[in-house]
Structure 1
Amino acid sequence: MNYLDRRNFLKLSALALGGFSTGLLTNQSKASDLKKNLRLGFIGIGGRGSYHLDTALGISGIEIPAICDIDPKNLYQAKRWIEESGQPSPNLYDRGPTDFIRLCEQEELDAVICATPWDTHAPVCLAAMKNGKHAACEVPLAQTLEEAWELVETFESTGKWASIVLGGFGDLTMLNMVRKGLLGDILHVESGYIHDLRMVKFNPEEEPWRLQPAIDKNGNLYPDHPMRNMMPVLDINHGDRFDYLVSMSTKSGMLNDYARAQYGEKHPYANMEMALGDYNASLIRTVKGKMITLNHDTHTPHPRESFRLQGTKGIYLKERDSQRIYIEGRSPREHQWEPAAAYLEEYEQEIMKNYSPPERIGGAIRGHGSGGMTQTPINWHRLVLALQGNKQPDWDVYDSVTSAAIIPLTGNSVADKSRPVDFPDFTKGKWKTRLPLYS
């Protein structure tokens, strides 16, 4: 799907026509436990969408009767993969960037799988929900507060959910260390999306829409990856909630430098003004006095991000290639890191320890982000179980839109000289009594 200006959102969602359970799945099931086939429609089947498509094709009991994309290459590759898997040829929806609405109106589906560019996520999900279908989506779920609230209200009026379940799975062993009290009361978490994407943003073959948000918007544009660990360890929407944030960005210049270095001084992006600062840092405080430092940097040269978790009894630092920990009174040397391997083994969470999905149909998963994976990803396995059990996935609508709301709220703070911005309570007070995530 191509990049759609956010101003088209109300027009698109207006075109989309119109008992749920809030329970979460904690037990693993085998293929024999699944009582009926699931019918899924796929909207957006490029690099990331093709990964999700091939994942689904490897799971017994999933039918894919409809696919949608504006790129014929993506569409017909997906059609071929579906046919090669032994399923009937799917219905094709390729009449432009809003043809997903026709798919949602005409197809009988249990859920829609959305892997389109960011600004189309909310319109796609709303079209699905208003036409009697759940929506499993890549991150983020929304770009504006208006979209976030409409997703909540549509869920509450229809019982059909939208979730960022496709955006990955949290570190449940780290979460278990927190809930077992190893680190004491959590005070501060720091991480972010620190990923050098300069080459991606200038690669029209991979993600041709990815540069445009950096031209148009400032703030933290991609909070969901760190949030999938930050929100659970802080009990956000499940005993605590975000209260307010402040956000600040540096100047912008690295994308211009990259364009000049790679393509020359006359390249159109060599001197174009970019709204997004090269580095954004945001501070978020919770109602119960906990704090997040959330970073965003996709323009400078660096390794990937780390995750720092500080409690009243100790600290845990998770990096890409190592994990370190210090527990007061337990670590062998005072104020000295020790390897975390023994703790990670001791506190391995039961969901991960017992994860044993049915064997995949076919070989390694294809598409962007697969890494040659041969086992069904746990988030996909649990999505299937949720749909089969008529339950919401681990991340429900309220958690999904809370994570996404950081995008417009940080933009508002940056634009107002980093003044504090209040955080909406999408749960309308239910955060006080909602059960913990993955409970």
Structure 2
Amino acid sequence: MKDLKRRDFLKTAAQSVAILGSTAVISACAADASQLSSPKAQGKSVIGLVTPKMDVVRVGFIGIGQRGAGHVKHYCHLDGVEIKAICDTDPIVIGPSVDYVTQQGFKAPDVYTGSKYSYRELLARNDIDIVIISTPWEWHTPMSVETMESGKHAFVEVPAATSLEECWQLVNTAERTQKNCMMMENVNYGREELMVLNMVRQGVFGDLLHGEAAYIHDLRWQMKEIDRKTGAWRTLWHTTHNGNLYPTHGLGPVSQYMNINRGDRFDYVTSVSSPALGRAAYAQREFPKDHARNKLNFIAGDMNTSIIKTVKGRTIMVQHDTTSPRPYTRHNLIQGTNGTFGGFPDRIALEKPPEAIAAIYEKEYQDNLTKWKAGGKKGEEPAKASFHHWDKDMSKWYEAYEHPLYVRMGAEAKRNGGHGGMDFLMMYRIVYCLRNGEPLDQDVYDAAAWSSIFPQSMASVADRSNSKDIPDFTRGMWKVAKPLGIVS
């Protein structure tokens, strides 16, 4: 961007969005061969991309509503960061974020608002290195593409794309510009997910066979957000799309366990949806009969279940349900030849536990046996631990396998918050990698592959659940890419 005049950039941006806008309406069910196969590369692979070290990471924010405002706060508590500018179409949300920045002793960021294209003024600056994008889904790919085209790194909320064409646009732009495009999948930085990744890397579960992922979260209350906030726009997606509308929260961690795009990749997906009943019933109960919410035709099945097959033959079940009255879960299950970890609640069952854990099990058995004998042998004799029963006491597992990153930064992450600290830890890692010239933990190929379940699940549902191929966004590089390491 250093040699690109602001006027020239704005003209180029307008042209690029016009192209994006004309193609975004293509139905996911009509993906042609050009979208499924690997198109000719426009640049070189960005797997393991390392960019020059940044002494200071200069940040701009596009979208500072419910998610973006939290990100602004986190960046105020990270070393080596300058918040340069923020942009939002809603002037009401801008003031609190600007005030928070100045209250922390920093210079007030410049503000861009007034129209849905005001973000281009922010992108035209040459004193911003990265852009945090927290806007409605339909803007994620266009804004990420423009961000990279402007010479900046793009960090975008989930999902990064809503069609295969958008997935390829992200990949092609990242490769052509050699800029990072990371979908900010915060769940990969949860304490449990990090621990399980560490266990997988150490072979605790044996050879991996199967995973289960989900986003099951009753969000019907968002339908009452009419003029602003997430429900104002997210509700409408349930009237236009039927499939897994939000696959990445549960899928991201399982994909990292299985080294997706780094030794294995998604091959195809098969998807089914239940009837769409819950949101219409909620609208009838909670809104006046003549309210606009009661005039909507909801088509997204309350529960969508998709099965992904990988090239190496592994399977992943991914579920989506933001409508049913049931407890929150992401499943976070990983199964191997030696046993299984399951989340919500956390539990483990292994055929051959590690020696240190086996010793704990034996001591517990001997202690229980001694108590049983001392009590006159009343009741059943204590049983030894086995894979026939879940171990729900996670304390010993955290002591043995806590991820080094969480050992170092867990307390700081919890103090700064954001879904239990995972948001802060994710932002910490982004800044750390940029300042130290290290590859990011997630790249554009992850963004494309994980997001692709959105359109391909819809295509499968619309085609009587016939399987739909998932493109190789890495163009074969998954075969040689190194798995994500256990960073400290």
TM-score w.r.t. structure 2 length?
Answer: 0.79
Q: 1:173 to 1:95 in 2, by over 3 A?
A: same
Residue 101 (str. 1) matches residue 123 (str. 2):
no
Residue 201 (str. 1) matches residue 226 (str. 2):
no
Q: Give 2:202's aligned residue.
A: 180
**Post-superposition offset of 1:402:** 0.8
Q: Give 2:134's aligned residue.
A: 115
**Post-superposition offset of 1:12:** 8.9
Residue 326 (str. 1) matches residue 349 (str. 2):
yes
Residue 378 (str. 1) matches residue 425 (str. 2):
yes
Q: Give 1:161's aligned residue.
A: 180
Q: 1:167 to 1:343 in 2, by over 3 A?
A: closer
- How far apart, in 1, do the equivalents of 2:427 and 2:474 lie? 25
Q: Give 2:478's aligned residue.
A: 431
The percent identity for this pair of structures is 36
**Post-superposition offset of 1:127:** 1.0
Q: Give 1:343's aligned residue.
A: 397
Query: Mapping of 1:274-353 within 5 angstroms?
Result: 274-305=298-329, 306-319=331-344, 322-330=345-353, 332-333=385-386, 335-341=388-394, 342-353=396-407
- How far apart, in 2, do the equivalents of 1:10 and 1:35 lie? 31
Q: 1:86 to 1:352 in 2, by over 3 A?
A: closer
Contact 2:433 2:440 in 1 (8 A): yes
Q: 2:450 is paired with a residue of what secondary structure? A: helix
**Post-superposition offset of 1:80:** 2.0
The match for 2:235 among 204, 211, 219 is 211
Contact 2:416 2:424 in 1 (8 A): no
Which is further off, 310-319 or 187-196?
A: 310-319
- How far apart, in 1, do the equivalents of 2:419 and 2:272 lie? 34
Q: Give 1:84's aligned residue.
A: 103
CA RMSD of aligned residues (A): 2.7
TM-score w.r.t. structure 1 length?
Answer: 0.87
Contact 2:185 2:248 in 1 (8 A): no
Which is further off, 218-227 or 86-95?
A: 86-95
Aligned residue identity for 1:318: G
Query: Mapping of 1:236-255 within 5 angstroms?
Result: 236-255=260-279
Q: Which has the larger radius of gyration?
A: 2
Q: Give 1:3's aligned residue.
A: none
Contact 2:272 2:461 in 1 (8 A): yes
The match for 1:54 among 54, 66, 73 is 73
Aligned residue identity for 1:268: A
1:292-316 deviation line (CA, Å, top 9, x unaligned): 1110000100001132222111121
Structure 1: gaps (5+ residues): 1-6, 26-33
Q: Give 2:246's aligned residue.
A: 222
Q: 1:355 is paired with a residue of what secondary structure? A: helix
**Post-superposition offset of 1:376:** 8.1
Q: Give 2:88's aligned residue.
A: 69
Which is further off, 73-82 or 273-282?
A: 73-82
- How far apart, in 2, do the equivalents of 1:8 and 1:437 lie? 37
Q: 1:20 to 1:60 in 2, by over 3 A?
A: farther
Q: 1:376 to 1:258 in 2, by over 3 A?
A: closer
Hey, which of these two has a bigger chunk of helix by percent? 2
